[in-house]
């Protein structure tokens, strides 16, 4: 049974990571495309339409894989976590159903309209359709995170008939834990979208091709990136300190706090040693800052692992290093965006080859950061699947080892095939540039700007 549990967890991790390779770009990129379509309506400048067509094509390739990998998630709670689904379904199922009703229908239907209608319908209708897609993708994040928020911080429920039953829907949808995560996730997705557009634009700008087109795209992404990266440290900090308050074990793992302390220092360099419940290295220490991070008071009390039973602790190393990685990358993104902004104001953006190269090679880092953030959220909650209510070990389906092996191996194989195809197509169409992708009849669209 423990093998089935381990492999089921492995399968869930793989499928959710894989799904989340596509989702952040969907959420982030669509906002930029909608903005371009709006500009097209306002200015009637065909350049904006060409921009929306080019980025929209990349969006569409990414979108289809987001959809199909999402279906796996939708059914996997039943196939692999049936005990969880039985116990939790009364609360966990409804956000998923609502997500489909209010978000998935909207984004899928209007994506079809935009993709096949963009040469037939008016610019206003194009803009409207793409805004509906943007609305759908963003709302879908809200509902799935409402569901996840309940796992992190169960509210509005009562334990009855051997399961969790809904008692207060309002509490479930206003769960502060979920809203913290939602805002943090959405803004991080905008960083993914912004960096994607900046990186592809940088590739072309370095080759001095389609300069007007990609300078404009870069500018749009840079503005979104500036706002999103600057907001993220504050939003992320609020989210993390709230998480630490609600889940002390996760909180202790964030900074590897072994002893409960007032006036906890912060170590810029730190290496935890979970086996001996201590840190091997604590270096570049700033006194009392740790307490400030956790409690907004330099003398605040921070709960350490000494107050948490051993069987209620997550894997400290995974949580600790993922958290550090995410924070470090987040700060790097702020610096990169502000430096880009400085270059842009000085009109030196296109000449700064080194900067453009750095941006280009940074394209995957926001993906790393956002997935590291989810590792903190999910691994940090272990051994619980629903915090304080149900352990992960109790949640798994009573399936056989051969079944889980069959599905795990097949999923890895099929997902790898799809990923290779996706990366190939994304690179191909990103490099191809705007002319090949524009569907406008009668040759090239003129650059007017």
Partner 1 sequence: MSHETVAIIWFGLWGLIWTVYFVLDGYTLGTGMLFPFLAKNRQERNQLQEAVGPFWGGNEVWLITAGGATFAAFPAVYADLFSFLYTPMMLILFALFFRAAGLEFMHKDESKRWQTSWKWAFTISSVALALLFGVAFANLFYGLKIGPSGYEGTFLGLLHPYGLLGGLLFTSLFIVSGALWIMIKTVGDVAQRAYQIARPASVVAAVVLSLFFVATSNRTTLFDNFTKAPILWIVPALTFVCALLMLLFVWQKRIGLAFANICLTIFTLMATGFIGMFPNMLPSRIDEKYSTTLFEAAGSELNLKIMLGVAIVMVPIIISYQLWSYKLFKEKITKETAKGYQ
Looking only at residues 95 through 114 of this chain, which bind partner 1 when binding is defined by CB under 8 A?
Answer: 96-102, 104-106, 108-113
CB nearer to partner 1: pick between 106 and 376? 106
Site string for partner 1, 358-397 (x = CB under 8 A): ---------------------------------------x
Provide the minimum distance between the beta carbon of 413 and partner 1 in the complex, in angstroms, as a whole number: 9
Single out the residue of 72, 175, 291, 371 in contact with partner 1 (rule: CB under 8 A): 72
DSSP secondary structure code for residue 309 in this structure: -
Site string for partner 1, 144-173 (x = CB under 8 A): ----------------x--x-xxx-x----
117 in Cβ contact with 129 (< 8 Å)? yes
Distance in angstroms (rounded) separating the CA atoms of residues 252 and 304: 5
Single out the residue of 25, 51, 52, 61 in contact with partner 1 (rule: CB under 8 A): 61
CB nearer to partner 1: pick between 16 and 98? 98
Phi and psi for 166 in degrees, rounded to 5? -70, 130
Provide the minimum distance between the beta carbon of 349 and partner 1 in the complex, in angstroms, as a whole number: 31
Distance in angstroms (rounded) separating the CA atoms of residues 7 and 393: 12
CB nearer to partner 1: pick between 88 and 316? 88
Distance in angstroms (rounded) separating the CA atoms of residues 200 and 204: 7
221 in Cβ contact with 248 (< 8 Å)? no
Q: Pick the piece of the chain touching partner 1 (CB under 8 A) from 30-38, 290-298, 309-317, 424-432.
A: 424-432
> Binding of partner 1 at residue 401 (CB under 8 A)?
no
Provide the minimum distance between the beta carbon of 327 and partner 1 in the complex, in angstroms, as a whole number: 35
> Binding of partner 1 at residue 409 (CB under 8 A)?
no
Distance in angstroms (rounded) separating the CA atoms of residues 39 and 20: 29
Contact set for partner 1, span 307-366 (CB under 8 A): none
Residue spans of alpha helices (H) in 207-276? 211-246, 248-254
CB nearer to partner 1: pick between 128 and 344? 128
Longest dimension (CA), the chain: 72
Single out the residue of 414, 431, 440, 446 in contact with partner 1 (rule: CB under 8 A): 414
CB nearer to partner 1: pick between 64 and 223? 64
> Binding of partner 1 at residue 139 (CB under 8 A)?
no
> Binding of partner 1 at residue 406 (CB under 8 A)?
yes
Task: Write the DSSP assignment of 56-110 as a string of letters.
Answer: HHHHHHHHHHHHHHHHHHHHHHHHH-HHHHHHHHHHHHHHHHHIIIIIIHHHHHH
Provide the minimum distance between the beta carbon of 111 and partner 1 in the complex, in angstroms, as a whole number: 6
> Binding of partner 1 at residue 209 (CB under 8 A)?
no
195 in Cβ contact with 366 (< 8 Å)? yes
Single out the residue of 13, 45, 94, 273 in contact with partner 1 (rule: CB under 8 A): 94
136 in Cβ contact with 110 (< 8 Å)? yes
Distance in angstroms (rounded) separating the CA atoms of residues 358 and 333: 11
> Binding of partner 1 at residue 68 (CB under 8 A)?
yes
160 in Cβ contact with 124 (< 8 Å)? no
Single out the residue of 350, 366, 407, 430 in contact with partner 1 (rule: CB under 8 A): 407
> Binding of partner 1 at residue 71 (CB under 8 A)?
yes
Contact set for partner 1, span 171-200 (CB under 8 A): none
Q: Tokens 């453009």 appear where?
A: 356
Residue (of 252, 250, 232) closest to 329 by Cα position: 232
45: Cα separation from own chain's centroid: 33
90 in Cβ contact with 410 (< 8 Å)? no
CB nearer to partner 1: pick between 148 and 247? 148
Provide the minimum distance between the beta carbon of 444 and partner 1 in the complex, in angstroms, as a whole number: 17
Distance in angstroms (rounded) separating the CA atoms of residues 98 and 102: 6
CB nearer to partner 1: pick between 15 and 279? 15
> Binding of partner 1 at residue 16 (CB under 8 A)?
no
CA distances from 260 to 231, 243, 265, 303 (A): 31, 17, 12, 5
Single out the residue of 41, 64, 393, 405 in contact with partner 1 (rule: CB under 8 A): 64
């Amino acid at each position: 049974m423990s093998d089935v549990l381990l492999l089921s967890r492995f399968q869930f991790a793989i499928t959710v990571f894989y799904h989340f390779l596509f989702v952040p770009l969907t959420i982030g990129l669509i906002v930029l495309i909608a903005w371009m379509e709006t500009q097209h309506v306002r200015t009637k400048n065909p350049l904006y339409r060409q921009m929306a067509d080019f980025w929209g094509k990349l969006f569409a390739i990414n979108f289809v894989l987001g959809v199909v990998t999402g279906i796996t998630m939708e059914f996997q709670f039943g196939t692999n976590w049936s005990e969880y689904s039985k116990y939790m379904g009364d609360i966990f199922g409804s956000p998923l159903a609502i997500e489909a009703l209010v978000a998935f229908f909207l984004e899928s239907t209007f994506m079809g309209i935009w993709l096949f209608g963009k040469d037939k319908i008016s610019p206003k209708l194009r803009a409207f359709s793409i805004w509906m897609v943007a609305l759908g993708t963003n709302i879908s994040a809200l509902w799935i995170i409402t569901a996840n928020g309940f796992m992190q911080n169960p509210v509005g429920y009562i334990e009855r008939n051997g399961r969790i039953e809904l008692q207060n829907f309002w509490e479930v949808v206003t769960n502060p834990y979920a809203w913290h995560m939602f805002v943090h996730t959405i803004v991080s997705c905008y960083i993914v979208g912004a960096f994607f557009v900046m990186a592809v634009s940088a590739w072309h700008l370095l080759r001095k091709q389609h300069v007007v087109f990609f300078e404009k795209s870069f500018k749009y992404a840079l503005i979104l990136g500036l706002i999103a990266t600057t907001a993220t440290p504050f939003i992320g900090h609020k989210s993390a300190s709230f998480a630490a308050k609600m889940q002390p074990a996760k909180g202790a793992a964030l900074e590897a706090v072994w002893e409960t302390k007032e006036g906890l220092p912060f170590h810029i360099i730190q290496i935890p040693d979970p086996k001996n419940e201590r840190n091997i290295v604590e270096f570049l220490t700033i006194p009392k800052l740790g307490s400030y991070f956790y409690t907004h008071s330099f003398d605040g009390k921070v709960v350490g692992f000494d107050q948490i039973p051993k069987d209620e602790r997550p894997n400290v190393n995974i949580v600790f290093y993922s958290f550090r990685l995410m924070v470090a990358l987040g700060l790097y993104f702020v610096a990169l965006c502000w430096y880009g902004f400085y270059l842009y104001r000085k009109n030196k953006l296109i000449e700064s080859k080194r900067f453009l190269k750095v941006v280009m090679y940074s394209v995957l880092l926001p993906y790393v950061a956002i997935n590291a953030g989810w590792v903190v959220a999910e691994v940090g909650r272990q051994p619980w699947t629903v915090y304080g209510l149900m352990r992960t070990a109790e949640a798994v389906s009573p399936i056989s080892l051969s079944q889980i092996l069959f599905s795990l191996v097949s999923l890895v194989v099929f997902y790898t095939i799809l990923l290779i195809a996706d990366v190939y197509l994304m690179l191909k169409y990103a490099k191809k540039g705007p002319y090949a992708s524009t569907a406008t009849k009668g040759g090239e669209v003129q650059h007017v700007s």
